Chains A and B, each alone.
Chain A
């Protein structure tokens, strides 16, 4: 059986901060995202635009139309955040499927013995990453809710002393905000990590050709999960900024 580790492995220490393999991968994906964004910006100012520009523009436009059906005329306010979520998660998921990610090994000393660990790791197959994304998402939902409703109405949603039923509903609402963090984090982590495990096991059972349909499936899953993450954020935001009666 191939060795499968549920947590990211530490590659080296930088000023006491443990740098894991998923952090290296996330740095690469982050630079890639910034590069694509800057290149797109540069292309948009040119007279003769390349195919790359139209490809990215097609993507942005389709995703914009999707969010428009949820958020309506407030789409422009939230679109930068939502598309950043979508694009970053999509690149992370697809980066994890590239050959070499997870299969290039490096020798590190762990305690007293030397072990081989992967140099790169699919970034969303690390719970820390997905938890960070989930925290950003849920905190921005609270932020937009306070911004659009005002602090008084925002607190009134959770602490309502009018009658016992609304009081308990308020407590349940507080709980549901915390469970959103967990469900965001575990959904993304579970899907991507399960994909990695599946690909490893299939490649171990049948070394040739059998992985292909599963890789195609994982490309689709990576897209759907990126879409679901940003779409759920959009739906929760639209619920959080709506007036209650």
Chain B
């Protein structure tokens, strides 16, 4: 394989493998937040704030993978 091909493959592997765990995590956060909302509808604003914070943490992992992939691709 040429260097260029390996580079492209590594970009694809970096983002696709790196997105698996955050995807599962975000799904769990969303489902649990909806569950909590169903049990206690009055706590909507508190749940929403906490959920967005947790989402940001989970999403950050995917963003790290994305940054690595973008650096590999464009730099």
- The residues of A with any CB-CB pair to B shorter than 8 Å are 4-7, 66, 69-70, 183, 186-187, 189-191, 193-194, 197, 224, 227-228, 231-232, 235
> Which residues on A sit within 8 Å (CB–CB) of B8?
none
Q: Flag if A194 contacts B70 (CB, 8 Å).
A: yes
- The residues of B with any CB-CB pair to A shorter than 8 Å are 45-46, 49, 52-53, 56, 59-60, 63-64, 66-67, 70-71, 74-75
> Which residues on A sit within 8 Å (CB–CB) of B63?
186-187, 190-191, 194
Q: Flag if B46 contacts A194 (CB, 8 Å).
A: no
> Which residues on A sit within 8 Å (CB–CB) of B64?
186, 190
- Dominant SS at the A interface? helix
In the complex, which residue of chain B has the Cβ closest to the Cβ of A224?
B52
CA–CA, A187 and B66, complex, Å: 10
15 sampled A-B residue pairs with Cβ under 8 A: A4-B74, A6-B75, A69-B49, A186-B60, A187-B59, A189-B67, A190-B60, A191-B59, A193-B70, A224-B52, A227-B52, A228-B56, A232-B53, A232-B56, A235-B53
Q: Flag if B74 contacts A231 (CB, 8 Å).
A: no
Q: Flag if B60 contacts A183 (CB, 8 Å).
A: yes
Question: 6 tightest CB-CB pairs across the interface, nearest first?
Answer: A190-B63, A228-B56, A187-B60, A190-B67, A6-B74, A6-B75
Pick the residue among A5, A187, A231 that contacts B49 (CB under 8 A): A231
